Amino acid sequence: MIKQAVIVAAGFGSRLKERTVSKPKGFLELNGIAIVEWSVQKLLACGIEKIIIGTGYRAEAYDELAKKYPAIQTVFSADYETTGSMATLGVCAKFVTDEFLLLESDLIYDGIGLSVLCNDIHENVILASGATNSGDEVYLEAVNGSFLKALSKNKAELGSIYGELTGISKLSPALLSAMRAYYEKNRAEFPKLDYERAIMMSTDKHEVYIRKIENYAWREIDDESHLEMAQSVVLPVILENESLRSIRREVLLNPGPATTSDSVKYAQVCADICPREKEFGDVMKWICRELTAVVADPSGYETVFFGGSGTAADEVMISSCVPENGHILIVDNGSYGERLAKIAAVYKINHTVFKSSTYEKIDIAALENEFKTAKYTHLGIVYHETTTGLLNPLDVICPLAKKYNIVTIVDAVSIYAGMPMDLSKLGIDFMASTSNKNIQGMAGVGFVICKKSELEKTKNIPMRNYYLNLYDQYAHFLKTGQTRFTPPVQTLYALRQAILETKQETVEKRWQRYTECWRILVDAVKKFNLKMLVKEEDQSHLITAIFEPETPKYSFESLHDLARQHGFTIYPGKLGNINTFRIANIGDIKPCEMKRFTEVLKNYLVSIGECV
């Protein structure tokens, strides 16, 4: 799995004259986006965790780009004015820890090329194309079929032409080390050595495979003619090619599974691997660490995951964390609090239900009175009641529970990664969530994030459940780096990509995006004279329960079907005695999409005479 990329971007771009006076050529724009930013976006979509950019001329432009994309690390080449791309790669090399993709900054290209390199079995690979007639080609000569023998801009220096260098390669640390050694040995004679010549001069000990795509769409932009060709000929082909691989957009306004990006979907399409391989064990360890880091310090908390839904994770907590002599108080103010109580009942765990309104705030004083009885060892509560969109004030409730030495067990299935939270500050000991809601992955992984000190206390609780036992899963993974049973491999690869995209967006900005979508919906609801079940100030900004219009002309099925025709899925309410429908604005949803949905809603209401 390729996790790193290096972009060499120190050059002047002097042949582009006035266009690069105030910016490096990587910041030439096509369709309003800098070409290096196009590249960054494609690398992130391909699952790259870290993008190292070697800078020089107008380095500040790349430093600003790094503020927008947390995956970027810039490295300044101080002698860029007197050296070439190999020197720039050299200053980046100390940050390269494994095989990596190497790209030039002045490229536009079809993203399929990155996938081709990542999937190629060879250790070192140059991506090549057929003839481009660009006027500044680097030609490749092959030996033994498809391995690099030589390269040159001068055809006469080569015995035959196998293809053209695209400026995109996959290299191993061993080859990088050999390239650096060659450069250091010959730096005095060739200070402006290009990285591609260093590759060629290292092939005596390191085979370099040439992966040729005859009709690959790409262009290096070195001068005005290249820019014109890129804009008028190459970019339209790239956009068409990439659009053909896009997946039909369905905006899920149901409360989960949530809408996902195409890159998350495509992350599931990968080479088969036995999950017992160390490579996949490392992926699982990374996922656990990063899931923890979203809400807690990994030094004090640990994620334990299972193949299953959010409810499976809830069952893990209830069945594994309450000892035989324990007593759990479960707050029921919606279907999911009720579900926690049902789980406790199934396992015959001593529990008491604290009933509260499904759409009004919990009576904190009454809840504390229960705490004061000293009957309870554990508290079970839902952070965000998905039934209604009611946000329970755990910033008050959990610290209050800790005051009475009560262990806190929290269903955060539909709030985790959708709103900033810190488990330590909140006083949460065990927290359940899932891969298919705000983390924006695919359905199939339930997980519990545990305070390590409390997790260790569950060690001697007799197992009530085999597959879903928390401590047994944790201890086995800690010892072996593997789950006890077969994990959902493809779903975990998708979750890895979803985590990368969460880190890029940040939970804070995701919360802002969700809130913007929620505000668009709420404003429309008010404008259409509809009513919401939960007061605005008590809502989560993630799910909104809306009263159904009181007219015989209204039909949820008709509204649902109309929404589906326009690419939206909505969900009915789950309160048997109150007629509502729910709109969730979680997942990979954009504000413009919520605006489109409100137009669909308006058109339906007009059709039944409920809106003018």
Residue type, 284: M
Q: Please write the tens of the pLDDT for every residue from 481-502.
A: 999 999 999 999 999 999 999 9
* pLDDT, tens only, 498-547: 999 999 999 999 999 999 999 999 999 999 999 999 999 999 999 999 99
Specify the pLDDT at position 174: 97
Model pLDDT, residue 573: 84
Q: What is the pLDDT of residue 256?
A: 87
pLDDT at 472: 98
pLDDT mean over 14-38: 92
Three-state DSSP class for residue 5? strand
**What is the crossing angle of helices 35-45 and 489-505, to 10°?**
150
Q: Tens digits of per-residue pLDDT, 250-305? A: 999 999 899 999 999 999 999 999 999 999 999 999 999 999 999 999 999 999 99
Tokens 């030495």 -> residue: 405
* pLDDT score of 135: 85
Q: Write the pLDDT tens digit of every residue in 151-208.
A: 999 999 999 999 999 999 999 999 999 999 999 999 999 999 999 999 999 999 999 9
Question: Do 4-223 and 262-503 fold alike per CATH?
Answer: no
Q: Which token pair is 132? A: 């481009």
For residue 612, is pLDDT > 80?
no
Element (H, E) at 275: none
**Strand locations in 350-423 (E):** 351-355, 378-382, 384-385, 390-391, 407-411
Per-residue pLDDT tens digits for 82-99: 999 999 999 999 999 999
3-class SS of residue 432: strand
Q: Please determine, for residue 48, whether its predicted confidence score (pLDDT) is greater than 80.
A: yes
Q: pLDDT value at position 13? A: 83
pLDDT at residue 611 above 90?
Answer: no
**Average pLDDT for the chain:** 96
Nearest to 79 by CA among 11, 181, 5, 7: 11
Q: What does DSSP assign to residue 243?
A: H
Which band of pLDDT confidence, cut at 50, 70 and 90, is reported for residue 394? very high
Among 384, 437, 377, which Cα is nearest to 408's?
377
**CB within 8 A of 368, min separation 6: which ones?**
400
Report the pLDDT averaged over residues 450-465: 97
Which residue type does 380 have? Answer: G
Triad 203, 204, 207: Cα angle to 5°:
45
Looking at residue 233, the DSSP 8-state letter turns out to be I
Nearest Cα to Cα of residue 438 among 308, 258, 306, 267: 258
Domain positions in the chain = 4-223, 262-503
Burial of 391 (0-12, 13-18, 19+ CB in 10 A): buried
Calpha distance 182→432 (Å, rounded): 53
* Structural class in CATH, domain 262-503: alpha beta
Return d(Cα 77, Cα 63) in angstroms, integer: 13
Q: What is the pLDDT of residues 561-590, one digit of tens each?
A: 999 999 999 998 877 778 999 999 999 999
pLDDT tens-digit series, residues 199-249: 999 999 999 999 999 999 999 999 999 999 999 999 999 999 999 999 999
Is 15 a residue whose pLDDT tops 90? no
As assigned by CATH, the class of the 4-223 domain is: alpha beta
Residue 5: beta bridge partners? 51, 101
Mean pLDDT of 101-107: 97
Three-state helix/strand/coil letters over 502-535: HHHHCHHHHHHHHHHHHHHHHHHHHHCCCCECCC
φ/ψ of residue 451, rounded to 5:
-70, 120
As to burial, measured by CB atoms within 10 angstroms (0-12 exposed, 13-18 middle, 19+ buried), residue 216 is buried
pTM: 0.95
Q: How far apart are CA 75 and CA 300, in angstroms?
A: 33
